[in-house]
Structure 1
Amino acid sequence: MRRFCELRWVTRVAPKVVPPVDLMSHRLTGGRVVPTRLFMRTVVVTSTGHRTGLPRRHPLVAHREPDGSFLVIGSNFGQQHDPVWVTNLTRTPEATVEWRARTIPVRARRLTAEEKAAARPDILRVLPMYDTYARRAAPRDIPVFRLTPTPPDGPSGTWRKGPGR
């Protein structure tokens, strides 16, 4: 699988095909199916569009940390530009993550170079082709964000159930 994901034609086609297929499956199954989850840990992040102010959904490769936060990697399949969700989270860091039938409010923060180096083992665990993508994307530095849960909403103190649940 790793070798396949590193092929140049895959990295050109995948950004146009994989996210729309993941989002369509997610929408049609009420959040139960995201095809990328068959191969990688994936969450669906809803951010605020930096131009429109409208909610934007993005299936992202993610690592769940012991403290409950998530690391998401803006590899964009090794392309020369950041994915749009990076700008969305940079301008409006409040977002939500759909994880295990729950919608969790989070706040995004881009990791520093030192933090990213410390998180490297986790990044490679979730995205083994990270180094190949980083070389291909150079001189662009692939952003990694930590999405930290914010206090739950509602009087019950629990996160709300995700779509279709």
Structure 2
Amino acid sequence: MPLAAIVRRLGRSRWFAHAGRATSGLDRRLQKASQGRFSTLGRPTIPQLILTTTGRRSGQPREAVLVYAADGDGWVLIGSNWGQQHHPAWSGNLLADPRATVTIAGVTTPVVATLADDDERARLLPALLAVWPAYETYAARSGRELRVFRLAPA
């Protein structure tokens, strides 16, 4: 079984979510240092980007490594927060200031984020689930509707 399939299967478990939260800082540093060639799981088997937002309280740059799906010339993200009951900080930052950057394979692109409405969410969600099926588990575990954002180049 390919590594990507194994990781996708493990992604549904609580221990994997805990490990993902615990290693997120290390993952971000590895991604930046290797220009996206390495993550905590070795060579990335799932598409990942580094999202840089502006902290809504601090005004400081905030980075998060996130799984994404491509959508035309843009990218799609979901605020799963590994199935926790609260939304991730980066999603609140995008609601406060939709201007951000994404870094993929060492290339940084300015973007503008839009929170998907119901119709766009229905269109985008299948692409996200194809990349990371565990999002369904995270939504059920969290008890909230996960925020879906489309990022368009600025």
Structure 1 partner of 2:34: 29
> By how many angstroms is 1:131 displaced?
1.1
- Counterpart Cα distance in 2 of 1:127 and 1:80: 19
Between structure 1 and structure 2, the one with the greater Rg is 1
2:102 is matched with which residue: 97, 108, 125? 97
> By how many angstroms is 1:48 displaced?
0.4
Q: Does 1:49 align with 2:55?
A: yes
Structure 1 partner of 2:152: 148
User: Does the CA contact (< 8 Å) of 2:46 and 2:67 recur in 1?
Assistant: yes
1:118 aligned counterpart, secondary structure: helix
* Structure 1 runs, 4 residues or longer, greater than 4 Å off: none
User: Does the CA contact (< 8 Å) of 1:94 and 1:107 recur in 2?
Assistant: yes
- Counterpart Cα distance in 1 of 2:25 and 2:65: 9
User: Does the CA contact (< 8 Å) of 1:44 and 1:98 recur in 2?
Assistant: yes
CA deviation string 1:60-114 (max 9, x = no partner):
1111112x11001111111111111011111011001112332111001111122
Provide the TM-score with structure 1 as the length reference. Answer: 0.81
Amino acid at match of 2:145: D
Q: Does 1:82 align with 2:81?
A: no
Amino acid at match of 1:132: T
Identity of aligned residues (%): 37
Return closer, same or farther for 1:44/1:136 CA change in 2, 3 Å cut-off: same
> Structure 2: any 5+ residue segments left out of the alignment?
1-5
**CA-atom RMSD, angstroms?**
1.7
- Counterpart Cα distance in 1 of 2:38 and 2:9: 25
- Counterpart Cα distance in 2 of 1:44 and 1:148: 15
> Structure 1: any 5+ residue segments left out of the alignment?
151-165
Structure 1 partner of 2:126: 121
CA deviation string 1:22-79 (max 9, x = no partner):
112134335543346623110111110111111111111111112x110011111111
- Counterpart Cα distance in 2 of 1:77 and 1:39: 18
